[in-house]
């Protein structure tokens, strides 16, 4: 794996970061997202606050948000379970109550950067939050046909290169939403009609 990057030079793993986000449908129609970020070192890791043993998390931060079907955050909770500076890092959790009222689809990432980056938040929790919008979309999409004809442009179109509305993928799978490329060629891939 990653042979192209290493160029045949030996390498030894030192760090693993895992981000996991679980989405849950509730009986009241709301959705909970539980997000976790974990950093683990493959060696004993000296911190100013003491040595973190190999395999013990340096960071384990959890964020849970409750959202409605319009992607608005109704409740939020942040918990720092493992951190480099106990008694300091873990005091920031309550600040993330400010997530309540934010909408995951409307300027959320910019709002997170403005509200929580720097000394007003935990860089790891804030980074974890940046993954919530796409996780929310994937949660809601679980039981929806992705090309269902509902009269509205499917959310995922024009959000990545494969789903550009002037591309062949949209022409094939979402023909109602296909539009000619700007050059008028009719074929986004090679210019052929």
**pLDDT score of 143:** 75
**pLDDT score of 190:** 44
The proportion of the chain whose per-residue pLDDT surpasses 70, expressed as a percent, equals 90
pLDDT (mean) for 140-150: 70
- Residues 119 and 161 grouped into a single domain: no
Residue 154 pLDDT > 90, yes or no? no
- Residues 103 and 128 grouped into a single domain: yes
- Coil, helix or strand at residue 76: strand
Residue 2 pLDDT > 70, yes or no? no
The proportion of the chain whose per-residue pLDDT surpasses 90, expressed as a percent, equals 72
pLDDT (mean) for 161-186: 87
- In angstroms, what is the C-alpha Rg of the chain? 21
Is residue 66 in some structural domain?
A: yes
What are the start-end ranges of the H helices in 15-131? 108-116, 123-129
- Residues 91 and 158 grouped into a single domain: no
Higher pLDDT, 1 or 183: 183
- Residues 34 and 56 grouped into a single domain: yes
Residue 191 pLDDT > 70, yes or no? no
Higher pLDDT, 188 or 54: 54
- 100-131: pLDDT as tens digits: 999 999 999 999 999 999 999 999 999 999 99
Residue 35 pLDDT > 90, yes or no? yes
Domain limits for position 24? 10-141
pLDDT (mean) for 11-29: 96
- Residues 109 and 157 grouped into a single domain: no
**pLDDT score of 192:** 37
Is residue 2 in some structural domain?
A: no
Is residue 106 in some structural domain?
A: yes
- Coil, helix or strand at residue 117: coil
Count the domains in the chain: 2
Is residue 96 in some structural domain?
A: yes
Is residue 1 in some structural domain?
A: no
Q: Which long-range contacts (CB under 8 A, 24 or more apart) does 14-18 make?
A: 14/41, 14/42, 14/43, 15/39, 15/40, 15/41, 15/42, 16/40, 16/42
Mean pLDDT over the full length of the chain: 89
Higher pLDDT, 193 or 178: 178
**pLDDT score of 159:** 79
């Amino acid at each position: 794996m990653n042979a192209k990057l290493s160029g045949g030079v030996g390498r030894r793993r030192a760090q693993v970061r895992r981000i996991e986000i679980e989405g849950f449908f509730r009986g009241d129609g709301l959705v909970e997202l539980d997000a976790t970020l974990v950093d683990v070192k493959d060696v004993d890791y000296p911190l100013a606050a003491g040595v973190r043993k190999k395999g013990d998390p340096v960071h384990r931060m959890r964020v849970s948000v409750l959202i409605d079907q319009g992607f608005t955050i109704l409740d939020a909770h942040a918990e720092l379970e493992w951190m480099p500076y106990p008694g300091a890092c873990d005091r920031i959790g309550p600040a993330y109550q400010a997530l309540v009222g934010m909408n995951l689809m409307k300027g959320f990432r910019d709002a997170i950067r403005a509200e929580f980056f720097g000394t007003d938040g935990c860089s790891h929790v804030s980074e974890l939050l940046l993954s919530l919008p796409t996780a929310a979309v994937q949660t809601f999409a679980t039981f929806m046909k992705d090309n269902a004809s509902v009269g509205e442009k499917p959310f995922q179109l024009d959000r990545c290169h494969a789903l550009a509305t002037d591309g062949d993928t949209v022409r094939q799978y979402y023909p109602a939403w296909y539009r000619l490329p700007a050059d008028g060629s009719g074929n986004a891939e090679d210019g052929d009609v």
